[in-house]
Structure formats: structure tokens, C-alpha cells
Amino acid sequence: RHYKRGANTFPSDFIVSLCKTSSGEILIGTALDLTSYNPQTKIFTRVKEVPGSNFVSDIIESKDSTVWVATVNNGLYYYNRNKSIYGSFRYNILDTTGISSDMINTLYEDSRDNLWIGTEGGGLCRLNKKTQTFSRYTTGNGLPSNYIFKILEDDIGKLWISTSRGLVCMNSATAAIQV
């Protein structure tokens, strides 16, 4: 079956990201919003925890069932319906412990439950979920570029990070970077 934009589906045919959650719902990130699809009922629903018009670049669900939503211009959103929590992180030039950019390309949760955020020009961020603060990694820390596209973890816990100027291997425990 081919689904197209419409009143009963999603507002844009420009589908950028997909995520199947542990509950079985399929999250659809478009150039205009985040929509949920329930395979049992076959119903599409706008995700109210991510308000407004957002270009959704990436979606992941962390081990604690929190859904993390990356946007191109409005930062990072999150929600956990089991815990009845939701919120967002936006760039603030005065906050050095905040997220480094509102333009987010990719999200990744590593084996240590760290959430990594790859940005468009703001480098790499790691969220401390307990304190709700971010550690930032940029060209000033040895990255070849502040444009991060994808993040993966290998079997020994090193992160592999694609940038606009090559591939980086980073020890996630020590933040040591190999270019």
C-alpha cells in the first residue's frame, strides 16, 4: 500500500526519518511534523509532544522508552508516555552546558545509555540525562569538522562519527579522538 500526504495521514510526502518503537507504533518524521502510525488500527496521529511545524531529521527510542526527536531548526524534543514527561532542548548562546545547535542531523544512544547528538555546524553533543546538560565536542577538541552526519558504536565501545571532512573514531569513555 502506498500512503500519501492527506488529512488522514501526514502533512508532507517528504519522509525523512522512521522509527519503530518498543510498543509497535511507527513514527514518521516529515519535513513538517512527527506523525505516529498504529499498525493495529491503521490510524495516523499527529504526535502532540512535538508541537508546531518541525522538519524531523531523526528519531530514536532510548532503552527507557523515551523517544528523542531531532529537528533541523528547532533543536531536540523528547517524550516518554509511560512516565508522562516531555520537553525540548534549544540552543542558547549564553548557555555553555546546553545543546550546541538547533540544527540536528543525527541521534545515537550508545551501550552506556549516553545520548549523542550530531549537529549541522555545532559539532557533537553528549547529553547527561540526569543533569540535563550537554558536553560539546567540536573542532576545538580535535574533530575535523563541526558538521556531523552519522554516529555508530563498534563492539569495543568506540564511536565512529561521519563528518563533512572525514571519519572520526572516538573513545566515548575518555573523549579521545582519532581522525
What average pLDDT does this structure show over 1-26? Answer: 94
pLDDT of residue 36: 97
Dihedral in degrees, nearest 10, Cα atoms 161, 162, 167, 170: -10
| Exposure b/e, 160-171, CB count within 10 A at least 16 = b | ebbbeeeebebe
Of the listed ranges 143-147, 159-163, 175-179, the one predicted with least confidence:
175-179
Residue 113 has pLDDT above 80, yes or no: yes
What average pLDDT does this structure show over 15-39? Answer: 97
Residue in 123, 129, 132 with CA at minimum distance from that of residue 175: 123
Which strand (E) or helix (H) includes residue 36? Answer: strand 34-38
Residue with cell 553533543: 125
Residue in 20, 112, 16, 113 with CA at minimum distance from that of residue 70: 16
DSSP one-letter code for 147? B
- Cα separation, 89 vs 39, in Å, equals 30
Residue 23 has pLDDT above 90, yes or no: yes
pLDDT of residue 178: 85
Main-chain dihedrals φ then ψ at residue 111, nearest 5 degrees:
-70, -15
Residue 21 has pLDDT above 80, yes or no: yes
Q: What is the pLDDT of residues 64-76, one digit of tens each?
A: 999 999 999 999 9
pLDDT of residue 165: 97
pLDDT of residue 173: 87
Q: What is the pLDDT of residues 46-65, one digit of tens each?
A: 999 998 899 999 999 999 99
What average pLDDT does this structure show over 8-29? Answer: 95
Q: What is the pLDDT of residues 91-111, one digit of tens each?
A: 999 999 999 999 999 999 999
